[in-house]
Amino acid sequence: MAAGSIDRRVARTRRLLQAALFELTTENGYAAVTVADICARADVGRSTFYTHYPDKDSLRKTAIEEHLDVMRAMAGARDSQPSAGGFVFSGPAFAHADATRTMHLAMLGGKKHEIPEEVRGWIDRQVRHELADMARQGAIRLDAATHFVVGAFLEVMHWWLDEETQLSPAAVDQLFQSLAFEGMSAVLAKPHDVHGKGHD
């Protein structure tokens, strides 16, 4: 009767349920996934599901929270470093997302764009924090800039994970940061391509 969930069965069940949710979310979008679907995919009894989580949202929330812990740790480690004129959070985020592509795509809602509140909230705090450090300004201006960057970041991340862009994490980050700091003008001016690839 130890404290945590050391029991193999518990760990196994939760792992299977999480994986199933990620797969199904990526395939059909979060809204379309039912608890029965998840259990079928995970090969777990439906009643078992409810002994672990009260509902579908809770499963997702827990899964996301666990992974945000990883991100938090990474961000925390770099927090003391001076920001050399760019965002600190985005690089690690792109890199980590690349490593766990499926899960991150699921976290953004799969093909559909169903970004959970926790994710948006976390990005929002990162951006706001970093922007506030860069320059002191009016609340409205900071708000606008924050929302601007959050929206742009999530959309670029989603696009990059969903499409087969062949871009390395570092390359997207560079592109993202250029767009964010220099704006359209600078990026559009440059004539050279990053990497050739047709579109759909």
Partner DNA sequence: CCGATACTGGACATCATGTCTAGTATCTTA
Partner DNA sequence: TAAGATACTAGACATGATGTCCAGTATCGG
Residues that bind DNA (CB under 7 A): 1-2, 5-10, 12-13, 34-36, 43-48, 50-52, 54-56
**How far apart are CB 60 and a copy of itself at their closest, in Å?**
13
Distance of CA 113 to the CA centre of its chain: 12
Binder to a copy of itself among 12, 79, 151, 170 (CB under 8 A)?
151
Q: How far is the CB of 77 from a copy of itself (least distance, A)?
A: 24
Residue 36 CB contacts under 8 Å (≥ 6 apart), including other chains: 46
- Residue 15 or 147: the one with the smaller Cβ distance to a copy of itself is 147
Residue 174 token pair = 């560079």
Place of tokens 């705090």: 125
Q: How far apart are CA 191 and CA 168, in angstroms?
A: 20
Is residue 108 within 8 A of residue 159, CB to CB? The reply is no
Q: Which of 9/199 has CB closer to a copy of itself?
A: 199
110 phi-psi bin (left φ>0, alpha ψ -120 to 50, beta other): left
Rule CB under 8 A: say whether 147 interacts with a copy of itself.
yes
Does the protein bind a copy of itself through residue 50 (CB under 8 A)?
no
Q: For residues 2 and 139, which CB has a smaller minimum distance to a copy of itself in the complex?
A: 139
Nearer to a copy of itself, 14 or 158 (CB): 158
Token duo for residue 3: 């404290």
Taking alpha carbons only, the member of 116, 126, 102 closest to residue 20 is 102
Binding site for a copy of itself (CB under 8 A): 31, 112-115, 117, 120, 131, 134-135, 137-141, 143-145, 147-156, 158-160, 163, 165, 167, 172, 175-176, 179-199
